[in-house]
Chains A and B, each alone.
Chain A
């Protein structure tokens, strides 16, 4: 086969249908409909199968991207899936929600020239993930039981990734989740039209199939402490993946008015509690007709698009910088614009105004301009004097970031950093022996795939700590002769696994 060149590959990205903007703005069905087989194969042809693939480095969990694409071209989808899931545990989720433009697709050489779009790696990953769900593919390894019990706090992407790796290593894993449904941000945060609940259920089902037990309605730190888990409850190690959690407010006058809420509250009511279906479901939402969302990250995009679907007439984004600095995914921003959300760049609220009944009436805002670059090279917004104006709105949603949840800090001796997140070393070990942490509770709000990567890294550290021989690692031969060894295997390694894929 002749070597593919940038000229010989299909120049255009393969077609992926998207729900019509007018239509989708009023339903919760998925927006991006995914490749069909034919288009997936066309897209696979666009991969140059680089000898030194930059995309693998660009992926936080280092998926062998050209590897799975090559298998897809050979129509061996099962093999492609097996290779993919060596690295990622939630392909149907990550293929949908990863910011690929900053990761794998951002470094793809096809897109590097600027004239072509990079290979749609995320969409291919999603196609395989969806295929696996449809076909009921499970990658069940031969698991060698270990006498270890590991407790995982939080069932978000970090906790699930860590749990899956440890279950494969033979540990008895229990996940504790405070809410009544598992999934963390996948459940309460990311809305149905970006990530259908059926996909989350399927991926969680795959983890339960490994023997992982998920206990909902269990608030660690209050029902029992981390110290109790290691002590009387008999866990050999603990992983904390509780997420960042607490929403930030701005402390503006009028923040106590009715109609002011955090994006977390809006999304939790809508996604987890199904407030959109009130009164068939008991949780009310009380959304107004003119919604102003402060912030322009992915959470803000989700909150705005949810508001639109729940019947708001007008939805506005209020952001103090410009579109260039907007931290949301380009695709989400684009989708939001298509659906009719209005963006007010270089605008910052200074006060929330209310009516006699204590409801929000308007936002008092100022116009901003970008000042000189500061020491870090970022141009920070500066208020234009005298630019104050009132912006009519009956609902104000804060999506300006989160701060660490205080519960575990209050109830355990875990060392926290200056900002209140859990302090960890390189191996993600906390100040308590046997306790590891990862995801947003260590780094602050980040992405699903980074949380998953942290969960896997912590799982590797926990295996090390428990002395489980990790099949994914090359062990250096022992320098000392045969003393302290059995058939040449170090006795200090209390166990060893062999993994046979079936």
Chain B
């Protein structure tokens, strides 16, 4: 890229700009990473500086991240945002090539090549008096700002979060601060109740007959389970869908989902939909689209990493 700053309009005086406009500094490439926190071997948090996005972001929205010039466009839910600090928070689970490479290369002081958003329709924080906010695994992060928004709107908030085991638990303190009641579920029972989040939901629904709404974010199989759990109770259940995306602006239809037997694009019509109307089998089938390519890319990446690491000591030899 060349610098075009003084090309063209030669000799023209700089147009005087009155007062600092907060939007003048909109960064369009090279987004600085302020902090990184590792929650576990596979989960880490990035706090990225983007004041304009921090101002615009609302619960339920997502961003698309590009690691480098060769990178793919990866959708990530906005886990939190801080308008004062001018940052958005992303929580990443290193499951494939791109996210593993992010885990290896992104650190505080570094930059992200691309970051665009906020995308999607913000979650509708309804006037519900009593809600259950459910997060599973990585979904625990994005459900947090929703729980907070409901709390701020004066609702009675029941938080239900699920992890595989105790070591993977994060943000429990943060959650307790915005929840009236908080239930942790783990697969092995190492903390909280032993079982899936559906068990937590059932307990909550039985203890509180007046729940107006359930909001769920997590892996599709978990959201499907939650939707089936709440269906007999006829409680409105909102889910945040995570189909494969490319542009995230409604241009390609890669993220199309079936809701109420109609095609909807999750990136512009969602990502939140009424869970009782979502065709989860369709979603889960389409998420398998690139399984072979994903496995390939990951194997190749791991192989390369191992090879480049062999001659060196472990540690940052760049």
Contacts and interface: CB of A to CB of B under 8 A. Distances in A.
Contact of A258 (B70, B113, B289): B289
A282 B12 contact: no
Contacts of A465: none
B9 A218 contact: no
Interface in A146-188: 147, 149, 167, 172, 178-180, 188
Contact of A223 (B10, B56, B98, B114): B56
Nearest to B261: A251
B293 A284 contact: yes
A145 B116 contact: no
B26 A215 contact: yes
Interface of A: 140, 143-145, 147, 149, 167, 172, 178-180, 188, 205, 208-211, 214-219, 222-224, 228, 232-234, 243, 245-247, 249, 251, 255-258, 261-262, 264-265, 268-269, 273, 278-286, 358, 405-407, 410
5 tightest A-B contacts by CB?
Answer: A284-B293, A265-B252, A282-B72, A215-B28, A283-B72
19 contacts: A178-B249, A180-B114, A209-B4, A210-B9, A217-B28, A222-B118, A223-B118, A232-B21, A246-B268, A249-B253, A256-B256, A256-B286, A258-B288, A262-B253, A279-B297, A281-B70, A281-B72, A284-B72, A407-B250
B199 interface: no
Contact of A246 (B56, B116, B246, B250): B250
A136 B61 CA distance: 44
B108 to A, nearest CB: 21
A278 B117 CA distance: 26
Nearest to A233: B23
B245 to A, nearest CB: 10
Nearest to B70: A281
Contact of B265 (A215, A246, A261, A279): A246
A366 B303 CA distance: 49
B225 interface: no
A502 to B, nearest CB: 10
Nearest to A255: B263
B8 A279 contact: no
A247 B296 contact: no
B209 interface: no
Contacts, number: 177
A406 B263 contact: no
Interface string B62-102: 00001100111100000000000000000000000110000
Contact of A358 (B53, B97, B288, B296): B288
B254 A261 contact: yes
Contacts of A273: 72-73, 246
B300 A279 contact: yes
Nearest to B15: A172
A149 B24 CA distance: 12
Interface in B102-120: 113-120
B250 A222 contact: no
Contact of A178 (B120, B247, B285): B247
Contacts of A283: 72-73, 246
Identify whether the interface residues of B are mostly helix, strand, loop, or mixed. loop
B269 interface: yes
B8 A143 contact: yes
Contacts of B251: 188, 243, 245-247, 264, 268, 405
A208 B4 contact: yes
A255 B28 CA distance: 36
Given A224-B56, A282-B70, A284-B293, 6 more contacts: A209-B8, A249-B253, A258-B286, A261-B254, A268-B246, A284-B72
B282 interface: yes
Given A208-B7, A256-B282, A262-B252, A407 B268 contact: yes
B: contact size bracket: 35 or more
Nearest to A283: B72
B53 A223 contact: yes
Contacts of B12: 143-145, 211
B167 to A, nearest CB: 29
A219 B258 CA distance: 25
Contacts of A217: 28-29, 114-116
Nearest to B2: A205
Interface in B249-295: 249-254, 256, 258, 263, 265, 268-269, 279, 282, 285-286, 288-290, 292-294
Given A209-B4, A233-B23, A284-B297, A219 B249 contact: yes
Interface string B133-147: 000000000000000
Contacts of A188: 247, 251
B315 interface: no
B52 interface: yes
A145 B10 CA distance: 11
B260 to A, nearest CB: 13
Contact of A224 (B23, B115, B249): B23
Given A179-B247, A358-B285, A219 B23 contact: no
Q: Which of B2, B9, B15 has the most CB of A within 10 A?
A: B9
B243 to A, nearest CB: 10
B193 interface: no
Given A140-B8, A279-B296, A282-B297, A232 B23 contact: yes
A71 to B, nearest CB: 25
A407 B246 CA distance: 16
B7 A222 contact: no
A197 to B, nearest CB: 13
Interface in B42-62: 52-53, 56, 61
A178 B7 CA distance: 25
A223 B52 contact: yes
B289 to A, nearest CB: 5
Contacts of A269: 246
Contact of A268 (B53, B61, B252, B292): B252
Contacts of B285: 256-258, 358
B29 A406 contact: no
B121 interface: yes
A249 B252 CA distance: 11
A465 to B, nearest CB: 19
Contacts of B289: 258, 286
A295 to B, nearest CB: 14
B8 A210 contact: yes
